[in-house]
Amino acid sequence: MLEISFFSFLFYLVNYTFFVYSLISIFLFITFGFLFLFRSSLFIKYTPFAFKRFDEAPSIEKKISLLFITSPDFFVYFYHLVNWIIYLSICFISFSNVFNLSFSLRIFLYCLNYNLIRPKADFDHIVAHNVFSNRKIYRHKITAILITYVFPLFTLEMPGMWANQHVYMHHRANNSKDDLQTLMYFRRDSLNNAVWFSIGEFFNHHFRLVVWHYDRNSKQLSTVVTNFAMLYISLFLYFQYDYAFCLFHLQAYYSASIAGYFFIEFTQHALINPLKPEEVMSNTVSTLRPYLQYKDKKIVINNELFYISDILHHEHSREANMHLLDAPFNFLKSLDKYHDKAMVFDTTYITVCLCIVLGNFEKLASLWVPIGPESSKMTQKEVIDMLKDHTRPICEPKDIPWAQLPEWPTYMMI
Ligand SMILES: [Zn+2]
């Protein structure tokens, strides 16, 4: 039982206010930008938000792209670079007021830019994996380094901190007890815990990662300290430059991050098979939606037709450097790996997240995609019991090596 002292009550209050504020803020922010998207579906088709394949592109784009990427297979990463350049240019106009625009017009421009042009986080993520493993997507390594370290700095995002935490901490520890963002020691069918996890993730990315590398005498310590310094120096400089715009930007960016930790990072490992908690295929969650652009990837499971999204976390966890658009094909090739009741759902992460934290296991069971003969034989009651079982704590907080660090702010109810 958690003792409710005055300070823990105060902390709950601050924590929840921050979280609810983040959700409302990101909702308003996204609605504001997307209102324009819905005006015309053509807009979606022709905005750089949509990624083309190499053979669909005009020849001039093909020629230019090959100056930057190592193979036509990586064409989407060239488009990603183009997105970054347009996004940065518009950010510069909104931040700097170089055209003497009013403050409200700059904010308006910024919201549209963030929602329409903003580079896809999934792509930044795969580029970061490839930079750290020295695999070449871009012809010149400097291009990938710009995307991972330098461009984010210009938009006040975390230059390298997130990438370092994700590649050198999370993927190496792979949701084991050594992982700062492990969900093993607390119940996942709890809104309370999911909120604490999201706020805790914020502290992991911004502060605790440095301590994690220091404790392990890791080779990454100097990199992470440099990234840490760059982040706070750039924040300081931006605040000197334009205080109001900087505040506006930070609340938008951090709201989006907190919502991302809650709906995506939490959900990706929220269901863990208690018999094999350390195994990737048993501690990971994938969703088949959203379909994004390529709705041609179909699969028939138990006589039912499913489309597959490009975001399949099991595939990514097994092969981090995989080309993002290859995930559906790799999924089809390795279906037998999913036979042991893998957590795959025919919906989006947002729906899975809400079903778990609100305890709606009937709905979650109806969205589960049973793969393989054993899974498809299960009754609805068995599926519900299995899902509930997958949300229980795997170990106690004292079993977690880094629990020696101050417990605040990731003290979860178990
Ligand atoms: Zn990854």
For the chain, which residues make up each domain, given as ranges?
A: 21-154, 164-269, 280-389
Closest to 57 measured CA to CA, from 82, 87, 20 = 82
**Backbone conformation region of residue 272, classed left if phi is above 0, alpha if psi is from -120 to 50, else beta:** beta
Distance (Å) from CA 327 to ligand 1 centroid: 13
Distance (Å) from CA 125 to ligand 1 centroid: 6
pLDDT digit string, tens, across residues 58-96? 899 999 999 999 999 888 889 889 989 999 999 999 888
Give me the residues of the chain with pLDDT under 70, please.
1-5, 7-8, 33-51, 291-310, 401-414
Q: 66, 217 in Cβ contact below 8 A?
A: no
Helices and strands (DSSP H and E) totals, the chain: 21, 4
Distance (Å) from CA 407 to ligand 1 centroid: 26
DSSP 395: S
Distance (Å) from CA 143 to ligand 1 centroid: 19
Distance (Å) from CA 88 to ligand 1 centroid: 24
Q: 165, 209 in Cβ contact below 8 A?
A: yes
Give 43's contacts (C-beta < 8 A, 6+ positions apart).
Answer: 36, 37
Distance (Å) from CA 175 to ligand 1 centroid: 12
In this predicted structure, what is the pLDDT of residue 115?
79
349 burial via Cβ count (<10 Å: 0-12, 13-18, 19+): buried
In this predicted structure, what is the pLDDT of residue 36?
57
Distance (Å) from CA 380 to ligand 1 centroid: 32
pLDDT digit string, tens, across residues 31-58? 776 665 555 454 555 555 566 778 888 8
In this predicted structure, what is the pLDDT of residue 351?
94
Distance (Å) from CA 122 to ligand 1 centroid: 9
Distance (Å) from CA 55 to ligand 1 centroid: 28
Instruction: State the residue for tokens 């579906």.
Output: 41
In this predicted structure, what is the pLDDT of residue 238?
86
Distance (Å) from CA 202 to ligand 1 centroid: 17
Give 55's contacts (C-beta < 8 A, 6+ positions apart).
Answer: 72
Max CA separation in the chain (angstroms): 67
**Global pTM exceeds 0.85:** yes
Distance (Å) from CA 127 to ligand 1 centroid: 10
Q: How far apart are CA 21 and CA 143, in angstroms?
A: 36
Give 169's contacts (C-beta < 8 A, 6+ positions apart).
Answer: 179, 180, 181, 209, 212
Distance (Å) from CA 220 to ligand 1 centroid: 17
Distance (Å) from CA 180 to ligand 1 centroid: 15
Distance (Å) from CA 182 to ligand 1 centroid: 14
Q: 227, 160 in Cβ contact below 8 A?
A: yes
Q: What angle do CA 34, 35, 39 make, to 5 degrees?
A: 110
Distance (Å) from CA 106 to ligand 1 centroid: 34
Distance (Å) from CA 82 to ligand 1 centroid: 22
Distance (Å) from CA 166 to ligand 1 centroid: 6
Distance (Å) from CA 279 to ligand 1 centroid: 16
In this predicted structure, what is the pLDDT of residue 307?
60
Distance (Å) from CA 109 to ligand 1 centroid: 31
Distances (CA, A) of 110 to 48, 79, 124, 153, 322: 16, 20, 20, 16, 32
Helix (H) or strand (E) holding 298: strand 298-301
